[in-house]
Amino acid sequence: MKQFEVPSFYRSPLISKVKAQRKLEDPRKKDFSPSELKLGNITFVIARHFGFCYGVENAIEKSYKAIYENPNKRIFLLSQMIHNPAVNEDLISHGLQFLQDTEGNQLIPFEDLNNEDLVIIPAFGTTIEIEQKLTAIGVDISTYNTTCPFVEKVWNRSEKLGETDHTIIIHGKYKHEETRATFSHSSQSAPSIIIKDIQEAKILGDFILGKIDLHSFDQIFKGKSSLHFDPKKDLSKIGVVNQTTMLASETQEITNYLREVMLMKYGVENIKEHIADTRDTLCYATNDNQTATLALMETDADLAIVVGGYNSSNTSHLVELLEQKFPCYFVQDESELISKEEINSFNIHSKTLQKLPYLPTKSNHRIILTSGASCPDSVVDGVMMKLASFVQSNEEMATILSEMK
């Protein structure tokens, strides 16, 4: 695996040791059981896989390379590099500016750019339409394009499906940058439609089986399908791809469900002509992180803390899994840990930050800890250290840390 040149302040003294030890013990990544790290009276149960993935490290490396190699140029980020506030704020501190927000709303008009400017395409990629606008201006968008290769893999798979006359079903969030980009690319080669979950997949299934009419279908999927999309014709031969940060298990559930629908409609002897096998589009990092999170659910703990940006799709899915078993708190960094008694936790359902009690009143604690793919390990370190400081004295913490060196 390539080693990226990521600024040292994103690395961590504690988490890096945990990861290095697990890599030594399990180089082929066969064991998804969590690690345990004891800091005084707190035992942290740490996911086997979490934090920066290949695509994120690649994006960060290229972004800082653009800064260092072009000191006299204006450099713009098309939108948030990744969904983590610490990373984006640091890039802004180096003079970079955002052209759009995460939903594609313009912050700086493209007309303000000139052919001397650089634009960094984020890890999520971008639409063909935006690429064409920037290229027409003469802006360099290729030298520091940070589109994740696993996102590009989905685009390439979609193109291949289009060549065999499949319609592309995209499992993703309609307003997410990656889904908008994938939709733009897939629509070039095939009819395409976006569904957000298994419930919307079942609406597709009901239409395919003739259980709902075209009007009902259009009410649900208006604006979420490609130009001239004809569900009567275009849903007879399909393939499912996904926004790489969605729950892999849900993408597979959607695919399995639609396969059953096609079996009912066309019979087992014709199934290969009506739905493609697209398991190869699932992102390895998303899959590993989610599998490691499922392994966390097999252990016992007082609570779980997930660290990451509040607009991070992959991080919210880790919360979604863990909250099924544990009191689960979602924080973007150590500043959300107010005291031993209170924590600011982001509610993924109401999209609000809530001040909650969290640490149980006892002397020893077991706390599950993980983070999203766009969260620096140094931020996880900060959360861990602050939690430990609530139940250990400064002298005790100093002794613990010295013994770990």
| Kind and range of the H or E run holding 356 | strand 352-357
Q: Is 342 a catalytic residue?
A: no
Residues 6+ apart with CB under 8 A from 281: 153, 154, 157, 241, 242
Q: How many residues does the chain have?
A: 405
Answer whether 384's CB lies under 8 Å from 39's CB. Answer: yes
Residues 6+ apart with CB under 8 A from 188: 128, 159, 162
Distance from C-alpha of 270 to C-alpha of 255, rounded to nearest angstrom: 17
Q: Give how far Cα 95 sits from Cα of 66, 77, 88, 89, 153, Å.
A: 11, 10, 11, 10, 32
The SS3 of residue 370 is strand
Answer whether 102's CB lies under 8 Å from 79's CB. Answer: yes
For residue 51, the one-letter residue type is: G
Token look-up 């009506």 returns: 274
Answer whether 337's CB lies under 8 Å from 331's CB. Answer: yes
Distance from C-alpha of 153 to C-alpha of 158, rounded to nearest angstrom: 9
Cβ neighbourhood burial of 252 (10 Å; 0-12, 13-18, 19+): middle
Taking the CA of residue 389 as centre, how many other CA atoms within 13 Å lie in the half-sphere pointing to its CB? 12
Integer distance in angstroms from the first to the last C-alpha of the chain? Answer: 27
Distance from C-alpha of 364 to C-alpha of 367, rounded to nearest angstrom: 10
Catalytic residue among 178, 200, 250, 336: 178
Distance from C-alpha of 315 to C-alpha of 308, rounded to nearest angstrom: 6
For residue 174, the one-letter residue type is: Y
Answer whether 56's CB lies under 8 Å from 401's CB. Answer: no
Residues known to be catalytic:
178
